[in-house]
Amino acid sequence: MLQLLLISTLPAFTLMLVAPAATHKHCKLVRELGLVALLLVRELLHHSASAACAWGGEGGGSSNKERERERGDGHVGFVLSCYDAHLRYDRRTDTFTARYPPHGRKPAKEESGVQWSRVRSPPVSTPAHDLHASGCLGDLRPGDHFEIQWRKNKDFPYGWWYGVVGHQETCNANEHLCRCHEDDMVVLEFKHYAAGSRWRQTTVSRKDHREKGDETDGFYGGIRKLQTSDEISTWRKFWPVDVLN
């Protein structure tokens, strides 16, 4: 389910996108008020309900800002991350064209042929440029799956990156003897990167976590613990064949 954010003075909608008959996971438009959970819509951009129905029209329709998995050609370093994009649906191919907003001084970029499987619902309502409030730090322990915000510099929006909580160097990883969950510092591992890579691991404080980083390695932001097997399996199905450097 997706979260629709109210913008301008428009009312909110629950919108299930109308795709070709072969794609039966999407239904019809239902109007509601307030902040609502949706399927595959991040933010409705200045379109009325009737305009939104154009998603089922020939050759495309309205543009919507959605969170979209960065896994296409030219995005190797962004495997297992999510970023916002404006999507335009093409009914003839049952795919999207994604337009990524400008990142800092970099112009907007487009990617065509985006599959449904790469589009997901944003699990939180935190805007892409805001630091997410991390309410799970006290609960994190080795083996927990998480997403963490990351951005290249402070002019960029955050993306969400997938990882798993690791053990302290002094821990032997024995589940009966492990006390890592009692340590203030939490080890965050990104095992799709090779051992020794600067992207392989970072640590955050449970008690005093805030945005950390620099202009060289980027900035780590808020953290959310993944709560369901569905969330975890969605990330795992995109696991790269080769380890990244």
pLDDT in tens, 44-63: 232 223 323 233 333 444 44
The pLDDT value given to residue 53: 29
pLDDT in tens, 105-115: 777 788 788 87
Secondary structure of 93-157 in HEC code, one letter for each residue:
CCEEEEEECCECCECCEEEEEECHHHEECCCCCCCCCCCCCCCCHHHCCCCCEEEEEEECCCCCC
Mean pLDDT is highest, among 70-74, 84-88, 132-136, 237-241, for 132-136
Regarding pTM above 0.85, the answer is no
The pLDDT value given to residue 68: 53
Smallest CA-to-CA distance from 134 within 210, 218, 186 is with 210
pLDDT band of 125, cuts 50, 70, 90: confident
Which structure tokens are listed for 42?
């991040």
Residue 39: pLDDT over 60: no
- The Cα–Cα gap between 28 and 12 comes to 15
